[in-house]
Amino acid sequence: MKKLIASISALVLASGIIAYNALPANASESPRHITVNGVGTSMVTPDAVRFFASVSVLAKTNKEALSSASKSANAVRAALKAEAIATKDVKTSSLTVYPEYNYSQDKGQQLIGYRATQSFTVVVRKAESAGAVIDAVVDAGGDSVQLNGVSPFLANGAAAAEKAREAAVADARSRANSYAKYLSASLGRVIYLTEVNAPVYTFPMVSEKAASADATQIDLGETEVTVTVTVRWSLS
């Protein structure tokens, strides 16, 4: 008599992939099993802030421009040090010196001086103090300082990722139990579990708390950490 093999595979749902196999249970063949995807998320407030700043100075000569920019840059470094920002968290991202021109219809292109610019990437590992650090940088560098962007991020995401993994496994188990019930079966042992992707971090920007009227406020929002797993259970 021919062996009867019934299979339902690759049932694609909006929230996961479920595969079910029913095979004869003997020593040479795989037991019947069900495979599902589970998705888990964890919401956490970013614990660090990265911001981008530069000092830019216009002077009559290259040497004067670079000297003035370096003076402002050193003032910024001193301010960062006073705010307990570690040297490893301050990185020069660019240093340029170039002639700057003005153009008009009557006089054409005219050299107006030389511009020196030094740009920094700064990491503030205490997110709640980021606004105060930025204020200190602006105070130290004065009008030569330019702020070019700010980005809250999660420096230590291990705990949030762990919660997301726990939620993903629970989601997978819930799905598997539902389908096992529909198949008049029950879940057995786990055959394998695979993390489909590394934790994914997204940053919806919403305000965390109010700052005083004259202080710089950095809205940290919440980071969404998402983990997807694939789990296979035997069925009994």
Tell me which residue range forms the domain holding 39. 6-45+157-235
Task: Band the pLDDT of 5: cuts 50, 70, 90.
Answer: very low
The confidence score (pLDDT) of residue 15 equals: 41
Of 128, 153, 178, the last residue of a domain is: 153
Q: 192 near 66, Cβ under 8 Å?
A: no
The confidence score (pLDDT) of residue 23 equals: 47
Q: 232 near 190, Cβ under 8 Å?
A: yes
Which residues, at least 6 apart from 38, have a Cβ–Cβ distance to it below 8 Å? 16, 168, 169, 170, 171, 172, 173, 174, 175, 228, 229, 230, 231
Calpha distance 71→197 (Å, rounded): 47
205 domain-assigned = yes
Instruction: Based on the fold, state whether residues 80 and 93 are members of the same structural domain.
Output: yes
The confidence score (pLDDT) of residue 192 equals: 95
Three-class secondary structure of residue 107 per DSSP: coil
Calpha distance 182→38 (Å, rounded): 18
Segment 220-224 mean pLDDT: 87
Instruction: Based on the fold, state whether residues 110 and 36 are members of the same structural domain.
Output: no
Instruction: Based on the fold, state whether residues 173 and 205 are members of the same structural domain.
Output: yes
Q: How many CB atoms lie within 10 A of CB 216?
A: 17
Query: Could you tell me the maximum CA-CA distance found in the chain, to the nearest angstrom?
Result: 99
Give the model confidence (pLDDT) of 67-112 as tens digits: 999 999 999 999 999 999 999 999 999 999 999 999 888 888 899 9
Q: By percentage, how much of the chain surpasses pLDDT 70?
A: 82
Instruction: Based on the fold, state whether residues 53 and 147 are members of the same structural domain.
Output: yes
Instruction: Based on the fold, state whether residues 38 and 62 are members of the same structural domain.
Output: no
Give the model confidence (pLDDT) of 11-70 as tens digits: 333 344 455 454 444 433 457 999 999 999 999 999 999 999 999 999 999 999 999 999
Q: Which helix (H) or strand (E) holds 42?
A: strand 33-44
- pLDDT over 90 (residue 204): no
R_g (Cα) of the chain, nearest Å: 29
Instruction: Based on the fold, state whether residues 177 and 221 are members of the same structural domain.
Output: yes
Of 131, 153, 175, the last residue of a domain is: 153
CATH number of the domain bearing residue 18: 3.30.110.170
Lowest-confidence region among 89-93, 210-214, 226-230: 210-214
The confidence score (pLDDT) of residue 10 equals: 35
CATH number of the domain bearing residue 146: 3.30.70.2970
Calpha distance 20→33 (Å, rounded): 6
For 11, what's the count of Cα atoms within 13 Å in the CB-facing half-sphere?
12
Q: Which of 67, 72, 214 is nearest to 132 (CA)?
A: 214
Segment 139-143 mean pLDDT: 94
Position with higher pLDDT, 213 vs 46:
46
How many structural domains comprise the chain?
2
Q: Which of 117, 136, 49 is nearest to 89 (CA)?
A: 49
Three-class secondary structure of residue 87 per DSSP: helix
The confidence score (pLDDT) of residue 104 equals: 85
Segment 111-118 mean pLDDT: 96
Calpha distance 60→152 (Å, rounded): 38
Of 106, 129, 153, the last residue of a domain is: 153
Q: Which helix (H) or strand (E) holds 158?
A: helix 158-182
Task: Band the pLDDT of 221: cuts 50, 70, 90.
Answer: confident
- pLDDT over 80 (residue 151): yes
1 domain-assigned = no
Q: Write down how long the chain is.
A: 236
